[in-house]
Amino acid sequence: MTNPDLSFADRSVVVTGASSGIGRATALAFARAGGAVVLVGRQEQALEAVRHAIQQDGGRAALVVADVTAAEAPARIVGDAVAAFGAVDVLVNAAGVIASGSVESTSDHAWDAMLDVNLRATFRLMRAAAPQLALRRGAIVNVSSVAGLRAFPGLLAYAVSKAAVDQLTRCAALDLAPSGVRVNAVNPGVVVTELHRRSGMADDQYAAFLERSQGTHPLGRVGRPEEIAGLVLFLASDRAGWMTGETIAIDGGRHLTCAR
């Protein structure tokens, strides 16, 4: 029997970065819970595959092919979501990028590009969606990182962008609380997705990274996208109706450890 507290029947959910990884797993989870899902991403073919999977399972999904950093993207995403399903009840900001770089090696361009995707686009879509979310007393869930909670060497721009997402989450939670809109974030550790490969990590490097990550996470393994999606679903659900402004680690205990 479906738990009514975790049901999203008659609710519209916007998920950015929905073509792969945590975004894809989250979109599929919302659809299984009855939500009508708006899939946002740059790769139309990959989004179509996610929509097909949702429809094959009897769910509903619409596509918005967009670069979340584009000037017109927030208004178009929100407008298309309302046109497709009549409302926006939940916004999940899962689109993100990662790259290595220290204080000495991070260029202005690399800094700006990282913050543009991970922080500025998240803020702008939250701002655009806020009026629609207020009509439904909806929820926002931002996908941050353990790097927003703890410092790591060689990840300067990425860690700063995620720490800023955490503070954006807290500030927005206060700003939107009078409208009944809740804002929370999840902070994953290393999860098996395409994120690191897209940053330029070769297959052998990625395999070695995952192997080493088993030792840096106290529970002895890396995470699965479906595990993060489950927490996102909970935070967006009625069961979490008295939670706002939280940044919740889901990282196998990684944030509890010292550097190694």
pLDDT digits (tens, 9 = 90+) for 13-36: 999 999 999 999 999 999 999 999
Handedness of CA 250, 183, 18, 54 (dihedral sign): positive
For 192, other C-beta atoms within 10 Å of its C-beta total 15
**Annotation says 206 is catalytic:** no
Distances (CA, A) of 27 to 92, 157, 210: 9, 27, 25
Q: What's the pLDDT at 66?
A: 98
Please tell me what DSSP assigns to residue 249.
Answer: E
Choosing from 13, 23, 158, 236, the catalytic residue is 158
**Alpha-carbon distance 177 to 244, whole Å?**
8
pLDDT value of position 207: 80
pLDDT number for residue 196: 62
Which residue in this structure is represented by tokens 């497709």?
A: 84
Q: Facing residues of 15 across strands?
A: 39, 92
In this predicted structure, what is the pLDDT of residue 260? 63
**Which structural domains are found in the chain, ordered by start?**
4-250 (3.40.50.720)
- Give the pLDDT confidence score for residue 1 in this predicted structure: 43
- pLDDT at site 202: 77
Q: Digits of tens for pLDDT over the chain (260 positions)?
A: 456 678 999 999 999 999 999 999 999 999 999 999 999 999 999 999 999 999 999 999 999 999 999 999 999 999 999 999 999 999 999 999 999 999 999 999 999 999 999 999 999 999 999 999 999 999 999 999 999 999 999 999 999 999 999 999 999 999 999 999 999 999 999 998 776 657 667 777 778 868 888 888 999 999 999 999 999 999 999 999 999 999 999 999 999 997 66
Contact yes or no for 217/254 (Cβ under 8 A): yes
